[in-house]
């Protein structure tokens, strides 16, 4: 019976041109934005692969030189665009795509795609996830209003309830109709498009499949809870105008105001130190070019460590000092930058927790995490690249320290050493390994879903013809 009721409600929805065409327009925008982001990501990934190969060739073919000079030459590492970024690019447009892995520096990741975006590009940047989480509520509330509130105003609801054995079946069929129309047009086509895109690009693996499934589940749950809230409020509020005002207000609150307010609140509650302060601290504690006074302290330390009294007794004192400062800088980077990134994660965790205030916040945080495009995934790339840099620089310095060089003497090496450094490769973290900061968002989404179902059940139980 429910199925035939759902079919009937869907037919009513399709007859209401205003609501139905709004849904179709949003579905078209979702696919348009998917296409735009997917084609950009494809082009960017192809370029990154080509330039990464060129970087490797340059590294191996850099010729004979001092290993520390080779560590300065080093390579640029490029972050591949996550396979599900076309569904939800998350932080990708606002984080660097490349990092120079040179000696002494844990460089910032550079070349943020939106760094020099015009206002049109910034306002006009929309992703499937942003469109569904931002405008999905408006469309769903409009659909729910169409099915319930107007039905009540016309008096047809009273007739239907009077004839029904189980009023709950009527209410459920309306909610399911709204949800299936929204999910069927907004979520399913774009997920299928993402999977097809992955198949065409040879990127479809188990992890990507599960991520796509989780993303679909998140969006479907979000639309389901909105459908339940829309139907429940339309039934609960006395008249159509009041229902419409309430639903419109709820959309503004949930989708437009609270996410940005929450973001601002998080910044105020857990402020990040400024980049200026972080860089200054790094420059003071781990300088790239240290003073003569620091060099004197380094010499004393090296003599103690090598158990000798003359610098001439250390095989390659220059390289030993470079290695000393390099390893010192690792500890500083771990403490200063590690602490900084931990604060960013803490901000993201608080933002995800604020998903209990608005389901849109919960859906946004969970969506980026499932797509592998939140900051915790970006941090994973930063850490992998930094480990590679340290291995590379340490290997170069170790080679230098193993060979005697004093005064004007210089030890050099060649391709035989450079080719021992493995090619840089970045395996993205598997689902569940990268996003602990988003866990509260999943919990919040679940709580919203349960609350919406309870609300719908209570409202349908109170229904009287």
Partner 1 sequence: MTAPRFVDLFAWEWRRTGRSPLLWSVFLIIASSFVWGAVNTAALHSAQEAAIERARQAERDWEASTRERARAYHAPISAGAGEVAYWQDPTDVAGYSEYFVRRWALKPHLALSPLASGVSDLAPTRLEIKLNTLFGFGDTYDFENPRGLALGRFDLAFAIVFLLPIGLLLLFALLVTFERDRGMLRLVAAQAVGPRSWTGARVLAILAWAIPVVLAAMTGALVLAGVPLAQATAPLLTALTATLLYMLFWTGIALVVLARQPGAGAALGSFAAIWAALTIGLPLAGSAVAGLLDPAPSAVAYVDVQRRVSDEVQAERDLILARAFAARPDLRRHSDRVGTLDYATRLSFLIPETERRLTPFKAPIEAHRERQEEIAGAAAYLLPTLGLEAAFATLAGTDPARQRAFESQARDFQLDLRRRVHPLVQREITRPAPALPRTMRGRLNLPEPLTLPAFVFQEPAQSDRLARVLPFAAWLGLLAGLAGTLGLSRMREWRVS
366 and 438 Cβ atoms separated by less than 8 Å: yes
| Distance in angstroms (rounded) separating the CA atoms of residues 439 and 442 | 5
* 216 makes contact with partner 1 (CB under 8 A): no
* 439 makes contact with partner 1 (CB under 8 A): no
Output the smallest distance, CB 418 to partner 1, in A.
Answer: 14
Output the smallest distance, CB 3 to partner 1, in A.
Answer: 28
| Distance in angstroms (rounded) separating the CA atoms of residues 149 and 170 | 14
| Selected binder of partner 1 within 7, 15, 114, 339 (CB under 8 A) | 114
C-beta closer to partner 1: residue 32 or 196? 32
Maximum C-alpha span of the chain: 102
What residues are paired with 110 via a beta bridge?
A: 98
* Inter-axis angle of helices 128-144 and 167-182, nearest 10: 150
308 and 314 Cβ atoms separated by less than 8 Å: yes
* 115 makes contact with partner 1 (CB under 8 A): yes
231 and 174 Cβ atoms separated by less than 8 Å: yes
* 149 makes contact with partner 1 (CB under 8 A): yes
Output the smallest distance, CB 263 to partner 1, in A.
Answer: 5
* 80 makes contact with partner 1 (CB under 8 A): no
Output the smallest distance, CB 169 to partner 1, in A.
Answer: 26
Report residue 103 as tokens.
Answer: 């000696």
Site map 384..403 versus partner 1, x via CB under 8 A: --------------------
C-beta closer to partner 1: residue 145 or 222? 145
* 248 makes contact with partner 1 (CB under 8 A): yes
* 426 makes contact with partner 1 (CB under 8 A): no
* Residues between 312 and 341 that touch partner 1 (CB under 8 A): 340
| Selected binder of partner 1 within 64, 192, 245, 387 (CB under 8 A) | 245
Site map 285..314 versus partner 1, x via CB under 8 A: ----xxxx--xx------------------
* 244 makes contact with partner 1 (CB under 8 A): yes
| Distance in angstroms (rounded) separating the CA atoms of residues 183 and 14 | 15
C-beta closer to partner 1: residue 51 or 161? 51
C-beta closer to partner 1: residue 115 or 420? 115
Site map 19..58 versus partner 1, x via CB under 8 A: x--x--x---x--xx--x---x--xx--xx-xx--xx--x
| Distance in angstroms (rounded) separating the CA atoms of residues 274 and 286 | 18
Output the smallest distance, CB 295 to partner 1, in A.
Answer: 7
* Residues between 354 and 383 that touch partner 1 (CB under 8 A): 364, 368, 374-375, 378
* Inter-axis angle of helices 206-236 and 240-251, nearest 10: 150
* 209 makes contact with partner 1 (CB under 8 A): no
CA dihedral sign, ordered 440, 446, 451, 452: positive
| Distance in angstroms (rounded) separating the CA atoms of residues 240 and 258 | 25
* 150 makes contact with partner 1 (CB under 8 A): yes
231 and 171 Cβ atoms separated by less than 8 Å: yes
Nearest to 339 by CA among 435, 270, 414, 404: 270
| Distance in angstroms (rounded) separating the CA atoms of residues 261 and 253 | 10
C-beta closer to partner 1: residue 9 or 321? 321
C-beta closer to partner 1: residue 121 or 419? 121
| Selected binder of partner 1 within 7, 154, 158, 241 (CB under 8 A) | 241
State the CB neighbour count (10 A cutoff) for residue 334. Answer: 12
Contacts of 283 (CB under 8 A, 6+ apart): none
Among the listed ranges 104-112, 154-162, 169-177, 423-431, the one in contact with partner 1 (CB under 8 A) is 104-112
| Distance in angstroms (rounded) separating the CA atoms of residues 199 and 275 | 41
* 156 makes contact with partner 1 (CB under 8 A): no
* Alpha-helix residue ranges (DSSP H) falling in 308-419: 317-353, 359-371, 375-401, 415-418
| Selected binder of partner 1 within 14, 42, 72, 112 (CB under 8 A) | 112
* Residues between 118 and 147 that touch partner 1 (CB under 8 A): 118-121, 123-126, 131, 134-135, 138, 142, 145
Report residue 95 as tokens.
Answer: 């984080």
Among the listed ranges 185-193, 194-202, 275-283, 382-390, the one in contact with partner 1 (CB under 8 A) is 275-283
Rounded to an integer, what is the distance from CA 125 to the centroid of its chain? 15
| Distance in angstroms (rounded) separating the CA atoms of residues 427 and 55 | 18
| Selected binder of partner 1 within 82, 90, 230, 372 (CB under 8 A) | 90
C-beta closer to partner 1: residue 252 or 454? 252
| Distance in angstroms (rounded) separating the CA atoms of residues 262 and 267 | 9
* Residues between 57 and 76 that touch partner 1 (CB under 8 A): 58, 76
* 110 makes contact with partner 1 (CB under 8 A): yes
């Amino acid at each position: 019976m429910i199925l035939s009721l759902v079919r009937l409600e869907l037919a009513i929805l399709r007859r209401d041109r205003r609501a139905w065409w709004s849904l179709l327009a949003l579905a078209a925008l979702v696919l348009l934005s998917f296409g735009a982001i997917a084609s950009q990501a494809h082009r960017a990934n192809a370029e990154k692969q080509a330039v990464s190969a060129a970087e490797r060739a340059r590294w191996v073919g850099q010729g004979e030189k001092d290993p520390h000079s080779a560590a300065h030459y080093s390579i640029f590492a490029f972050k591949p665009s996550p396979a599900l970024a076309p569904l939800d690019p998350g932080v990708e447009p606002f984080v660097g795509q490349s990092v120079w892995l040179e000696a002494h520096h844990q460089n910032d990741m550079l070349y943020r795609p939106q760094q020099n975006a015009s206002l049109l590009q910034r306002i006009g940047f929309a992703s499937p996830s942003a469109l569904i989480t931002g405008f999905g509520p408006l469309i769903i509330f409009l659909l729910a209003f169409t099915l319930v509130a107007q039905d009540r105003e016309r008096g047809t609801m009273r007739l239907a309830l009077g004839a029904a054995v189980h009023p709950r079946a009527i209410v459920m069929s309306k909610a399911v109709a709204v949800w299936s129309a929204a999910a069927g047009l907004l979520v399913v086509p774009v997920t299928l498009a993402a999977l097809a895109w992955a198949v065409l690009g040879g990127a479809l693996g188990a992890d990507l499949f599960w991520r796509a499934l989780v993303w679909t589940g998140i969006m479907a749950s979000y639309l389901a809870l909105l459908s339940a809230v829309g139907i429940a409020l339309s039934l609960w509020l006395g008249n159509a105008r009041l229902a419409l005002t309430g639903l419109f207000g709820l959309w503004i609150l949930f989708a437009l105001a609270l996410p940005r307010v929450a973001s601002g609140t998080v910044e105020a509650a857990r402020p990040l130190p400024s980049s200026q302060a972080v860089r200054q601290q790094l420059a003071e504690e781990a300088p790239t070019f240290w003073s003569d006074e620091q060099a004197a302290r380094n010499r004393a330390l090296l003599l103690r460590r090598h158990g000798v009294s003359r610098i001439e007794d250390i095989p390659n004192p220059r390289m030993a000092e470079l290695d000393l400062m390099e390893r010192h800088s690792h500890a500083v980077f771990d403490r200063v930058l590690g602490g900084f990134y931990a604060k960013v994660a803490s901000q993201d965790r608080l933002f995800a927790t604020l998903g209990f205030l608005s389901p849109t916040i919960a859906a946004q945080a969970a969506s980026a995490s499932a797509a592998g495009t939140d900051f915790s995934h970006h941090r994973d790339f930063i850490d992998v690249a930094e480990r590679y840099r340290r291995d590379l620089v340490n290997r170069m310095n170790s080679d230098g320290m193993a060979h005697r060089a004093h005064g004007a003497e210089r030890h050099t090496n060649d391709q035989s050493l450079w080719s021992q450094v493995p090619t840089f490769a970045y395996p993205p973290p598997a689902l569940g390994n990268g996003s602990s900061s988003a866990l509260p968002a999943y919990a919040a989404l679940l709580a919203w879903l349960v609350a919406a179902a309870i609300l719908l059940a209570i409202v349908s139980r109170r229904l009287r013809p």
